Structure 1
């Protein structure tokens, strides 16, 4: 799914001369995105189990700050830097949803609309400020700030939504099937139904989170919970290796960058 078709852009000389800070939307983008969601889910649970909830949240928060600082520091998209930030957003986004549910006792039925409202607020503020929600315009500090705020909100929302469907009877495998079907809807609506490319992108982006997390949880949890029982550690490690392989390929091939964009 691409977000090339935009209805409105605010022209800016600085934007045209600056290099993009995010990758092009290719099949690699969606593969790695799903992998990071699953890895973030199991890594968050693993850290909480090994370190305890409070140290895990502190470590995840520190990792997120460092990763985002590196992402904001670079002048253009760098595969390793960008996807490290996405991984840390995934880990911390899971923790944010879990803290709201476990720590504060907020049900997933309430947490899901809460994070949906937070995401909507970020997108509304972004559009009112910049006149576009296209990721192709992430070439200024302000747009990059809006982008990462939206990304963090999507991960927290997806975590809460995935846990909600898993706990109301669908289970992890059922949730994975549900979200696999749901993620095809914006793609089909964009291709044949006239749905705006930007709206289709963000809808699919949100749905990748519960999809990847549901699959990873299904692989990790025991048979008593309807899973394969592979364990949090092995699932986290295997998905991390897959992420490293795909990101390494992109770092070398640069298949997710536009050759005509210069800093």
Structure 2
């Protein structure tokens, strides 16, 4: 039996970093902001009940994701959307229920994320997202993702609300930072792992700012579309892109398995 057979091959469990990766990630964090507001405020569940319900659903989604042992777009992006909502709710709970200042929350989650990366590197000697093929690496990966969302929420709210820049200016600010990091990566030799995680953190306040801009009433500086319409727009877009990704991923797996089968046939002919 070939050592690279489908039953023994270790697949990366997270997607490649492409343009559609960043597009759907940005939409996921935008929806995470508006969906959390809808469940908490419009449905009247309150922060505590919303947090408990969404955390339970997230655990179920992560169980599905961990069971795949390879990248499956539906399982992965469902987990991302849910962890975006939960990350938002964690920060909102600390600020609204426990009255922790936004600056303190931002610092705390920065430290928590840094410690996660430190423990991850000490255990695995890498922070690469291109080799997430064990449960331990995937656990570190999702823990880091959770803290990026919580940190991004805190940092975005700190700039938009406490520094009073407003939704549009905050979105433009974080967009310009992301653009500068992209220039650093493509032209100035910025470390790809560092660049990835910095952009991953910053897309959270970028998406949240534009989500608030679309959903909040005009008297608060928004466009007044509401959380239902805004969440619905991004949900439909996310589903469409995930379907596209699923079809493309199935095609890539079929080509990969076909290549393995061809290699196996060639080896068999050589032995014969």
* 1:162 correspondence with 2:176: no
Which residue of structure 1 lines up, in the alignment, with residue 100 of structure 2?
106
Q: Which moved more, 1:250-259 or 1:229-238?
A: 250-259
Distance 1:96 1:126 in 2: 22
User: Of the two structures, which has the highest relative contact order with CA contacts closer than 8 Å and spacing of 6 or more?
Assistant: 1
Q: How do residues 1-263 of structure 1 correspond to structure 2 at under 5 angstroms?
A: 17-49=9-41, 50=43, 51-167=45-161, 168-254=163-249, 260=256
Distance 2:124 2:48 in 1: 37
Q: Which has the larger radius of gyration?
A: 2
Distance 1:107 1:230 in 2: 29
TM-superposed CA distance for 1:254, in Å, is 2.1
TM-score, structure 1 as length reference: 0.90
Shift >4 Å, 4+ stretches:
255-262
TM-superposed CA distance for 1:255, in Å, is 8.8
CA RMSD of aligned residues (A): 1.7
Distance 1:17 1:66 in 2: 26
Residues 57-115 of structure 1, C-alpha deviation per residue, up to 9 Å, x if partnerless? 11111111111111111121100000000011001000000001001101111111111
Gaps of at least 5 residues in structure 2 are: 1-7, 261-272
TM-superposed CA distance for 1:17, in Å, is 3.1
Which residue of structure 1 lines up, in the alignment, with residue 265 of structure 2?
none
Gaps of at least 5 residues in structure 1 are: 1-15
Distance 2:176 2:109 in 1: 22
TM-score, structure 2 as length reference: 0.87
